Amino acid sequence: MRVLVTGGLGYLGSGLIRILKETSKVEEIVVLDNQRSGRIEAFYGLNDPRFRYIDGDISDVYDLDFALEGVDCLIHLAALVNTPLGVYDGSALYTNNINGTEALMEKAKAAGVSDVIFASSLSVYGPVDQEGKVHFGLSPYPKSKLAAEKIILDIANNSGMNSWILRCGILYGKAPVGHFDSFVNGMVLQAALRRRVTVFGSGQQRRGVTNITQAASTIKDCLNHKISPGIYDVFDAVVSPLNIVEILRKLDQMLEVSYTDQDVRVRYDILPQGDERIEQLNVLEERVTELFRDYTLFLNS
């Protein structure tokens, strides 16, 4: 089996390609990444002739023709994420996440790809109001993810491709390519540095969170057809920043916490709503504890 991973040099991709390396049925792993947010460090320590890297972009049809040749399974991770750019100006998000996905899927269809796995986001559900009503995709990033989902499902259904949509929570955990914009990773790093941990707003806003190893393992299970095609919510637990503070205080009783309203853009809950869920409850504390110890060990080495 030949697998193409778009965005394979990013945070999730850097962990995923190591899991794919251990999958016996995978004969070649093609990584397509423009290094806008990914880093070549994702390949460090991987001495395996099955890897092939293409420095390219999903919006470039020539790059896609080259990358998709002979590919059986497409794993689509490439995306612009919800940065300040994504909050205030959605044009770049739409160009990359929607137009790029459409170009990718059209080329995948032409290349005869049989399986497509898409890393979407729980943010598509939007805020939950006081009456429990979900307001889907209010801001540019979740709108772009919802639109990309529809493109993938439409083209896959019309061409006979198997498709998996994995709506992951906020990713956290250790990976070859770091990611500290995640509130979990950021708070744990502050605690490991013995700095005051910052909580934005009240800290009561709840989110679904997903350990990066769980996300990568779920993708591998889809690739191996251990999970039926469909749309899934993939998360460890639904937590707030205050939940993370509670865990960190068990690890450091001297932990200091500061609260600020500066740069608080999201004050509401975004909760998993799908009918099909892949969740691992009661593992969050164990994984946050492990992450804290990994960061502490690294900083003291």
Least confident span in 132-141, 204-213, 265-274, 278-287: 265-274
The first and second tokens of residue 236, run together, are 């460890």
The first and second tokens of residue 197, run together, are 């941990």
- What is the spatial distance between Cα 203 and Cα 185, in angstroms, rounded to a whole number? 15
- What is the spatial distance between Cα 59 and Cα 200, in angstroms, rounded to a whole number? 36
Does residue 31 register a pLDDT over 70?
Answer: yes
SS3 6: strand
For residues 239 and 173, is the Cβ–Cβ distance under 8 A? no
The first and second tokens of residue 276, run together, are 């099909």
> Strands 28-33 and 207-211, how do they pair?
unpaired
SS3 228: coil
Residue for token pair 């080495």: 301
The first and second tokens of residue 182, run together, are 């995640």
Does residue 85 register a pLDDT over 70?
Answer: no
* Residue 301: predicted pLDDT: 74
Q: Structural domain boundaries of the chain?
A: 2-171+211-235, 172-207+237-299
SS3 97: helix
**What's at 160, amino acid-wise?**
G
Residues 6+ apart with CB under 8 A from 115: 72, 73, 74, 161, 162, 163, 164, 222, 223
Q: Which CATH number is 2-171+211-235's, of 3.30.450.20, 3.40.50.720, 3.20.20.70, 3.20.20.140?
A: 3.40.50.720
* Residue 279: predicted pLDDT: 67
- What is the spatial distance between Cα 283 and Cα 217, in angstroms, rounded to a whole number? 15
What are residue 270's DSSP bridge partners? 207
What's the half-sphere exposure (Cβ side, CA atoms, 13 Å) at 147?
A: 19
CATH architecture of 172-207+237-299: Alpha-Beta Complex (3.90)
* Residue 88: predicted pLDDT: 47
Does residue 151 register a pLDDT over 50?
Answer: yes
- The residue among 107, 46, 47, 52 whose CA lies nearest residue 76 is 107
Query: What would the mean pLDDT of 141-156 be, rounded to a whole number?
Result: 94
For residues 18 and 48, is the Cβ–Cβ distance under 8 A? no
- What is the spatial distance between Cα 138 and Cα 193, in angstroms, rounded to a whole number? 36
Residue for token pair 């006979």: 160
Q: 61-85 b/e with 16+ CB inside 10 Å = b? A: eebbeebbeebbbbbbbbbbbbeee
Residues 6+ apart with CB under 8 A from 262: 200
For residues 227 and 164, is the Cβ–Cβ distance under 8 A? yes
pLDDT in tens, 174-188: 998 888 888 999 999
Count of CB atoms within 10 A of residue 261's CB?
A: 9
Count of CB atoms within 10 A of residue 43's CB?
A: 17
pLDDT in tens, 241-296: 999 999 999 999 999 999 887 555 544 556 677 667 776 666 889 999 999 999 99
| pTM of the predicted protein model | 0.90
